[in-house]
Structure 1
């Protein structure tokens, strides 16, 4: 970070040149944003390049694939069971409906089939069509790819997970394959299939189709799959949110918003923390098709039925999740760089959420496992200090895992029970040199009187927030804090004030109220770390407290 004098000088220059506030200029400088007008405008035409799309390995083969699909008027789709898989499959279903192409979608059951392609699913799809499109998985399913070819079918895989090799007769479009020359490896599968359709429209194959209408689904998947918000992903989310907040949004998203009782303008927060978990709930609780059915629905009444079922699954998921979290003692991880926990009684659909929850608590790569049939299955989450998707592939090569893969910050894996301790030793060894930073980070030291509407407008320009463009955390020093009200025995409404007479209301969520009261009674002034929000009820600018010292 620049020293104060340099930062003030640079910020003044940036603010003048771009007609923005000093506060926003400082945030942009801290984030090393170079093309500021491009960043703030986030226009698709400035960030989507046909030339770059054409660098995707195998992209030209997609033309022949889809020419045959148009000729046959049939296609079978195999997709993953998460939000990215549901969104990418929904876009394809809706686009092919425009083109009069009959579509059958197969999404595997997480419990019975696990992750990725399997022979039973392929046989079922081949009964419907010899054209198989695989979304958000399949890159490493070498034998299954070969099997489709041996059965006289054609297979195209659109994926973004780590991949070292694939069957040469398969059309695998994945920016993470060794021969790919594009710079699109930060896209999720939905973003990738969207760009492939943009390319095919450019090649006049889908010339009459309206591709841009699906940006709401692209935005949802991009946020939920935790991919970096680089220039292209930022544009996709920014423009997708405009559609979500219009009257032309996806019917499934529309009903889910109503079901969740969201009254304010939809932001990336709602996509990642309210809508995404609900869409995932179906797959986690054993109904893998639900998310896809919701998002591909053309009928608002049918979509509402799906949304109601999903809401029930989500409530059940929350109860199970709370129980598992209460079972785990993080002190067992004190002398390790990872969280590593296994129990036969845990619900297989929740292990990924628990891994993410633990990772956010102590910033350590987290691996959670349970039993499925005769195997141990697990999920991992990390901040990206070590590419855990690659670690899984190494563990497969070493014979520790039966199968495994993913990307830098998320992975899935399967192993025999007798290999669990060997996996733990392997992961401890591979992560022994990473640095776990639990120091409280803040981006800007501010006075309480600047927590106002103007700062909210600056944050709106800086958004959407996500990976590599995180929501800013601010620090105010020497504040007085008092509790105004307690909600549900775990959320506290607070008032903050400084020695100059400025004050601001705020919230602290999911806290032990007794401990908070005791902590506040032992000191008179506190250093506060917080995010700044627009309160959806009062419309006031408020603080969401992250930490106090």
Structure 2
């Protein structure tokens, strides 16, 4: 059962609307997103490159770039070590291309998910030492690699860290002690001593800030660094970062550039997904293009994806992009099988757990996070999916808002060989013998209440479905890009009748409705969820006969409440409003 509630925040909506030339509806939506004060509202609506924060404010950024300038001038061998997800691939690309542009002798290495696991490790350090590498620079990893970096330093290497993950810590008597490695410079806005005004940058954004300073010190026009904004935007959305403050500007500016991208790999990936560059929105980053990049790191090697963006030959880029699209299709099939197995296990034995721990030894370890996310959505509980790997058990977790996953893992850290993450997601490795102990301890530590497990549907504004018009729907585009912490607005209306219901779509998986308001107005609606579940729900409430009547377009007694978003339906040159139903009851 869901709990619907209206976000009720106060402000002078009429005054804000007048000052910014927007409707009071849009003013209220902005306030609901915790954007307050004229300066913040102006930045939210129109912030551009000029409003980005000074990269020099990042702790150690000048120290790190001074070291890089020296290494470049001495032609020392530099190796970028990234990660196998979209943020890792994009940050590796940015550092590699940026350092190359400055004349550095640079190469890169991305860990193999299966053989190396996440981030820098002893194997990669020894490999770098054998190759005569003088300096390692990490991106999207390294902050927690205390022992590994000590090993690299013992071999005489310079180590530079660029990262955005949480700073590792130990806790004694309620007091946290943050760990710091022996790296020569660490750039991560999450460091306590870092005074950078925005803490939620992705790894690629941190890497880009470093390159901006490097270009400045190498007398390269800083405008050249803007070529990387499409990669920063892609990574920001792909790594599910908050689309607030500076991230909002980075994604908006990146999307502008991707609409005219000159990168053969980016263009090929877009075209292979049957899209055009000018169509790309944050949705495509997160749900169409991003999964293709992540699929390479999951099922093959992320070097395929990196090679795509480094490609200058259009034909070759097209071939690599097609390979990534195929890998993503395979990943979808394997995920569906894994989700089925996980749900079966939950239903058979794990239902009483507050924190779900699902052990699927035979599932591909790279799919654990996606499967955990699907189970979390279905059960609305923090979920860990564990799989068997060559050296024990590996897993990923996905959380709910009330549960800080990384902090909870810290309470069980003696059980793991490795762990890390964020409040909403985490990764871990542990011996197989510890799986059941982990299940028991993570649940014993859990302070969640039954209330925390009820999905909460936030409604921005209760609004009759026939109120939005074309100018208002167009104005709502000012709120884009949508994503985490800047979600698409949600409106709600109640006591709606159904004049007609019809199932459409190639796979018969879309429900089109004609709804009637209490005032007798008709409005077109579409629902992309589970059609069978919809029928069953109203069948239980009103009887199967009433549902049958609705699907035959006949008079019926069904009344429904909906959470919706209005959009413009364009057909044969005509424009009309239709609502997209997100939730119903």
Instruction: Give me the TM-score of the superposition, normalised by structure 2.
Output: 0.86
Instruction: Give distance in 2, aligned partners of 1:144 and 1:215.
Output: 31
What aligned pairs does 1:373-452 form with structure 2 within 5 A after superposition?
373-396=390-413, 399-433=414-448, 435-452=452-469
Greater than 6 Å deviation, 4+ residue runs: 1-4, 536-539
**Residue matched to 1:159:** 163
Q: Judging changes above 3 Å, is the alpha-carbon distance between structure 1 residues 457 and 12 closer, same or farther for their aligned structure 2 residues? A: same
**Residue matched to 2:144:** 140
Structure 2: runs of 5+ lacking an equivalent: 168-177, 540-545, 548-556
* Aligned partner of residue 458 in structure 2, secondary structure: coil
Q: Judging changes above 3 Å, is the alpha-carbon distance between structure 1 residues 466 and 2 closer, same or farther for their aligned structure 2 residues? A: closer
**Residue matched to 1:41:** 46
Q: Judging changes above 3 Å, is the alpha-carbon distance between structure 1 residues 496 and 98 closer, same or farther for their aligned structure 2 residues? A: farther
Give the one of 498, 510, 524 matched to 2:517. 498
Q: Judging changes above 3 Å, is the alpha-carbon distance between structure 1 residues 41 and 347 closer, same or farther for their aligned structure 2 residues? A: same
1:89-125, CA deviations, whole angstroms, 9 ceiling, x for partnerless residues? 1112222343343432211111111112122212223
Give the one of 559, 564, 577 matched to 1:530. 564
Question: Residues 453 and 541 of structure 1 are in contact (CA less than 8 Å); yes or no, is this contact kept in structure 2?
Answer: yes
Give 1:78 deviation, angstroms. 0.8
Give 1:317 deviation, angstroms. 0.5
Structure 1: runs of 5+ lacking an equivalent: none
Give 1:344 deviation, angstroms. 0.7
**Residue matched to 2:542:** none
Q: Judging changes above 3 Å, is the alpha-carbon distance between structure 1 residues 256 and 25 closer, same or farther for their aligned structure 2 residues? A: same
The count of residues paired between Structure 1 and Structure 2 equals 541
1:93 aligns with 2:96: yes
Give the one of 234, 244, 252 matched to 2:265. 252
Question: Residues 497 and 515 of structure 2 are in contact (CA less than 8 Å); yes or no, is this contact kept in structure 1?
Answer: yes
Give the one of 328, 335, 343 matched to 2:352. 335
**Residue matched to 2:108:** 105
Question: Residues 69 and 214 of structure 2 are in contact (CA less than 8 Å); yes or no, is this contact kept in structure 1?
Answer: no
What aligned pairs does 1:464-475 form with structure 2 within 5 A after superposition?
464-475=481-492
1:272 aligns with 2:286: yes
* Aligned partner of residue 478 in structure 2, secondary structure: helix
Farther off after superposition, 153-162 or 27-36: 27-36
Give the one of 496, 507, 528 matched to 1:509. 528
What aligned pairs does 1:74-85 form with structure 2 within 5 A after superposition?
74-85=77-88
Give 1:395 deviation, angstroms. 2.6
Q: Judging changes above 3 Å, is the alpha-carbon distance between structure 1 residues 209 and 232 closer, same or farther for their aligned structure 2 residues? A: closer
* Aligned partner of residue 466 in structure 2, secondary structure: helix
Give 1:211 deviation, angstroms. 0.5
Instruction: Give distance in 2, aligned partners of 1:272 and 1:147.
Output: 37
Instruction: Give distance in 2, aligned partners of 1:540 and 1:393.
Output: 52
**Residue matched to 2:326:** 312
**Residue matched to 1:65:** 67
Instruction: Give distance in 1, aligned partners of 2:455 and 2:533.
Output: 24
Q: Judging changes above 3 Å, is the alpha-carbon distance between structure 1 residues 381 and 205 closer, same or farther for their aligned structure 2 residues? A: farther
Give 1:484 deviation, angstroms. 2.8
Q: Judging changes above 3 Å, is the alpha-carbon distance between structure 1 residues 534 and 133 closer, same or farther for their aligned structure 2 residues? A: farther
Instruction: Give distance in 2, aligned partners of 1:537 and 1:158.
Output: 48
1:9-39, CA deviations, whole angstroms, 9 ceiling, x for partnerless residues? 8211111111101210111122231121111
Instruction: Give distance in 2, aligned partners of 1:277 and 1:400.
Output: 31
Instruction: Give distance in 2, aligned partners of 1:187 and 1:267.
Output: 19
Give the one of 117, 124, 130 matched to 1:114. 117
Q: Judging changes above 3 Å, is the alpha-carbon distance between structure 1 residues 208 and 453 closer, same or farther for their aligned structure 2 residues? A: closer
Question: Residues 251 and 300 of structure 1 are in contact (CA less than 8 Å); yes or no, is this contact kept in structure 2?
Answer: yes
Work out which of the two has the higher radius of gyration on C-alpha atoms and give 1 or 2.
Answer: 2
Q: Judging changes above 3 Å, is the alpha-carbon distance between structure 1 residues 445 and 392 closer, same or farther for their aligned structure 2 residues? A: same
Farther off after superposition, 159-168 or 214-223: 159-168
Give 1:227 deviation, angstroms. 1.5
**Residue matched to 1:10:** 12
Give 1:518 deviation, angstroms. 6.7
**Residue matched to 2:552:** none
Give the one of 268, 290, 303 matched to 1:289. 303
Instruction: Give distance in 2, aligned partners of 1:421 and 1:165.
Output: 29
Question: Residues 256 and 307 of structure 1 are in contact (CA less than 8 Å); yes or no, is this contact kept in structure 2?
Answer: yes
Instruction: Give distance in 2, aligned partners of 1:428 and 1:300.
Output: 52
**Residue matched to 2:190:** 176
